[in-house]
Structure 1
Amino acid sequence: MIIVLTACLFLSGSLMFSYWIALLRKKNLRAVGDGNPGAMNLWKSAGYQFGAAGMLLDFLKGYLPLLFIIGSGYSEGMLIVPLALAPIAGHAFSPFLKGKGGKAIAVTFGVWSAITAFEAALAYAIILALLAAAIRWLYRSKQHSAHTDGLQVVFGMLLLYLYLYARAFPAAIQWVWLGNMAILVYTHRSEIRAGLKKVLVRGK
Structure 2
Amino acid sequence: MNAGSVLAWAGGLLAAFLIGSLNPATMIARLLGKDLASSGSGNPGATNAGRVLGRKWGVVVGVLDVLKGLVPTFVAGHLFGAHAAYAVGIAAVLGHIWSPFLKGRGGKGVATTLGAILGVHPWVALVVVVVFAVAVLLTRWVAAGSIFGALAMIVVAVLIWTGHAPGDVWTGLWLMGIGLLILGRHKNNVVGWWRQRHLP
TM-score by length of 1: 0.83
| TM alignment of 1:128-139, pairs within 5 A | 128-135=132-139
Q: Distance in 2 between matches of 1:65 and 1:149?
A: 26
Asked whether the equivalents of residues 21 and 95 of structure 2 are also in contact (C-alpha less than 8 Å), the reply is: yes
Q: Distance in 2 between matches of 1:154 and 1:70?
A: 27
| TM alignment of 1:98-137, pairs within 5 A | 98-116=103-121, 118-135=122-139
Asked whether the equivalents of residues 127 and 160 of structure 1 are also in contact (C-alpha less than 8 Å), the reply is: no
Which structure has more relative contact order (CA 8 Å, sep 6+)? It is 1
The alignment yields a C-alpha RMSD, in angstroms, of 1.9
Aligned residues: 188
Counterpart selection for 1:22 from 26, 29, 41: 29
Structure 1, residues 78-131: CA drift from partner, whole Å, max 9, x if none?
x44322211111101111111110011111111010011x21111101111222
Asked whether the equivalents of residues 74 and 85 of structure 2 are also in contact (C-alpha less than 8 Å), the reply is: no
Deviation at 1:168, TM superposition (A): 2.9
Match of 1:89 in 2: 94
Deviation at 1:132, TM superposition (A): 2.5
- Say yes or no: does 1:39 pair with 2:43: no
| TM alignment of 1:138-177, pairs within 5 A | 149-164=142-157, 165=159, 166-177=164-175
Match of 1:142 in 2: none
Q: Distance in 1 between matches of 2:63 and 2:85?
A: 23
Asked whether the equivalents of residues 136 and 144 of structure 2 are also in contact (C-alpha less than 8 Å), the reply is: no
Match of 1:67 in 2: 74
Percentage of pairs with the same residue: 26
Deviation at 1:200, TM superposition (A): 4.4
Asked whether the equivalents of residues 134 and 145 of structure 2 are also in contact (C-alpha less than 8 Å), the reply is: no
Structure 1 unmatched ranges of 5 or more: 137-147
Structure 1, residues 141-194: CA drift from partner, whole Å, max 9, x if none?
xxxxxxx53244123311233235232322222121122123212321210221
